[in-house]
């Protein structure tokens, strides 16, 4: 195992917070009780995940990454750019059309509980890796004409602490959501998984990640999801979400409440709308 890989394993054990500036709002509207959702696997249990680092700057794979970003800057349509901007801001709502129903606490609270715990889990190794590898983002290295969320492309930034390109957090979140939503709605799996791929692609369109960053985010989500599926708490929450989708009555149905406990409150935990 390389020194950097060993460092990542140590970082997973040490990291405590997973919130990061620029992450999408998981729910729409965003709730204030995200911290109340426990991950399915804690940081110690995630030591199994060892992620190789990004390609060395100037190497052939890195130059492929650069070409991929510059090509998208030149060829992306206005409609695709707008989608990428929206994907950068939100997560679950961006999958509602592919899933076939709204993904929020009013219509699918048990599904939201499942998703929130999954995203909390995948965030741990994702942001631990960012702290290890310190890869500059495309807009920090390249003269881009446009970057999502910015009125003008920023100039190169030498601050190592702000170099958080590898792996892509949005891609990890999006691919985690795609995997479990496809399992909940297998008849819509093709649309959902394609939406998950498009969600990661949006990070390249936006000029905020390189292709290898997005691939690494998907890899982390795949590895974590495979491990999480063995966890009893996940299996219970998945069963509750599946039952919710099959229940024609309100989610307050007594049988569902008895099996799954109360769903997450529609109002944020602090009582503010």
Q: List pLDDT tens digits, range 56-70.
A: 999 999 999 999 999
Q: What would the mean pLDDT of 84-105 be, rounded to a whole number? A: 96
> What token pair was written down for 236?
């219970």
Q: What does residue 30 show for φ and ψ, rounded to 5 degrees? A: -65, 130
Residue 21: its pLDDT value, please? 47
Q: What does residue 25 show for φ and ψ, rounded to 5 degrees? A: -70, 120
Catalytically active residues, by annotation: 170, 203, 209, 213
Question: What are the chain's domains?
Answer: 3-260 (1.20.144.10)
Of the chain, the percentage scoring pLDDT greater than 70 comes to 85
Pairwise CA distance, residues 157 & 271, whole Å: 40
**pTM for the complete prediction?**
0.89
Residue 20: its pLDDT value, please? 46
Q: What does residue 90 show for φ and ψ, rounded to 5 degrees? A: -135, 160
């Amino acid at each position: 195992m390389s020194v950097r890989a060993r460092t990542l394993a140590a970082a997973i054990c040490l990291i405590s917070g997973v919130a990061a500036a620029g992450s999408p709002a998981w729910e729409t509207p965003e709730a204030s009780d995200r911290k109340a959702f426990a991950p399915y696997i804690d940081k110690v249990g995630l030591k199994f995940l060892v992620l190789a680092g990004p390609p060395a700057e100037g190497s052939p794979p890195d130059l492929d990454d650069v070409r991929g970003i510059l090509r998208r800057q030149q060829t992306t349509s206005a409609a695709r750019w707008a989608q990428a901007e929206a994907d950068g801001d939100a997560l679950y709502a961006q999958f509602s059309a592919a899933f076939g129903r709204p993904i929020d606490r009013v219509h699918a609270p048990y599904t939201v509980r499942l998703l929130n715990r999954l995203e909390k889990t995948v965030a741990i190794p994702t942001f631990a890796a960012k702290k290890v590898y310190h890869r500059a983002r495309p807009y920090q290295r390249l003269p881009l004409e446009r970057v999502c969320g910015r009125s003008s492309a920023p100039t190169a930034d030498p601050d190592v602490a702000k170099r958080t390109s590898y792996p892509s957090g949005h891609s990890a979140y999006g691919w985690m959501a795609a995997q479990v939503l496809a399992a909940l709605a297998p008849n819509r799996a093709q649309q959902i998984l394609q939406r998950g791929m498009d969600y990661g692609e949006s990070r390249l369109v936006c000029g905020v990640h390189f292709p290898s960053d997005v691939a690494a985010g998907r890899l982390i989500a795949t590895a974590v999801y495979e491990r999480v599926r063995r966890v009893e708490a996940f299996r219970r929450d998945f069963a509750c979400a599946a039952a919710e989708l099959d229940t024609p009555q309100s989610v307050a149905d007594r049988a569902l409440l008895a099996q799954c406990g109360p769903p997450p409150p529609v109002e944020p935990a602090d009582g503010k709308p």
